[in-house]
Structure 1
């Protein structure tokens, strides 16, 4: 994503009012900072609240953070979202402790771990085909140990990742993460 002129202006936490102010304070408390994406999402408190609730919900699932970060990287690469690619590469490396090789492989929906590779491959197939995935793709994922619960969580993660990808691309959010080029 090449940033030109932002489509939506960020709302600084100190300038926010009402629900937006409360939500940005929640982000600050949870992350210790307020990323640009959430500042821009604050233009629509309904959007920011939806993002926070969905993010918390997928975070409470069975897929570990290291897998969720790789799923986010694969989806960001697919959707051309440099902001999310950069954010999840940084978080994957520094918080989830995923190796640089694994983070790079995630951009191609791949992993040296067969189970993670199956999750990434199936997630990308779901995204690329709007959910209309061939039965053999699901069978291959199951052969690698992917459970029905994980398949459901893939869809939830995709919903979250597509939400943030599309929003960041549309709003031309200024990237405040160490940039990882598409």
Structure 2
């Protein structure tokens, strides 16, 4: 059961209704439960949407940023975000189940994507403390400083949504995917 109510866009107070309308536009006509819970604080929802929108126009592109989202959700044990990002990866980006599974554990057949995922994992697990060799490994395969900065942004944005979804116990409104650590 959710610990924060999902705000109904049809009965929301004006500031929440406006934020939910922006969420509906950002998510292609749907209003995911995560954004409905964030609407308890319209400034929180707006901040999330603005940061996510800014990152979506970055250098990494949607297929790499979605892989980062899968990895961070897996590492943080967030079933809601893992379910949402698995759905987007499969249905919007047409990633194979093998590519989705590999991203969840920081792997890719592409050495550049693998280096980005390993950097993202180090940022997430180290809470920002990253060994120099991980950064250098990313640079060696052509990851620019701008892209490294963007990876930090993606990790932070995804960690925020993971923490929010877990704390608020958001009801999953996508086909459910269970984090590996919860399967054992």
Shift of 1:145: 1.3
Tell me which of 2, 7, 14 is aligned to 1:6. Answer: 2
Superposition RMSD in Å: 0.9
Tell me which of 147, 157, 168 is aligned to 2:144. Answer: 147
Q: How many residues align?
A: 178
CA-to-aligned-CA distance 1:27-70 (integer Å, 9 cap, x gap): 22332111100111000111101100000010011111111111
Shift of 1:6: 1.1
- Secondary structure at the counterpart of residue 15 of structure 1: coil
Tell me which of 97, 104, 109 is aligned to 1:107. Answer: 104
C-alpha distance in 1 between matches for 2:57 and 2:82: 22
TM-score (norm 2): 0.94
C-alpha distance in 2 between matches for 1:169 and 1:122: 24
Q: 1:174 is matched with which residue?
A: 171
C-alpha distance in 2 between matches for 1:110 and 1:123: 11
Are 2:89 and 1:92 aligned?
A: yes
Maintained 8 Å contact 1:66/1:97: no
Q: 2:11 is matched with which residue?
A: 15
CA-to-aligned-CA distance 1:96-149 (integer Å, 9 cap, x gap): 121211110011011111110000001100111121111111111111111101
CA-to-aligned-CA distance 1:13-39 (integer Å, 9 cap, x gap): 001122110111122233211110011
Are 2:24 and 1:24 aligned?
A: no
TM-score (norm 1): 0.95
Tell me which of 35, 39, 56 is aligned to 2:36. Answer: 39
Q: 2:182 is matched with which residue?
A: none
Tell me which of 70, 75, 83 is aligned to 1:73. Answer: 70
- Residue pairs, 1:45-56, within 5 angstroms: 45-56=42-53
Please list every run of 5 or more consecutive structure 1 residues that lacks an aligned counterpart in the other structure.
Answer: none
C-alpha distance in 1 between matches for 2:63 and 2:149: 18
Instruction: Return structure 1 stretches of 4+ with deviation > 6 angstroms.
Output: none
Please list every run of 5 or more consecutive structure 2 residues that lacks an aligned counterpart in the other structure.
Answer: 180-184
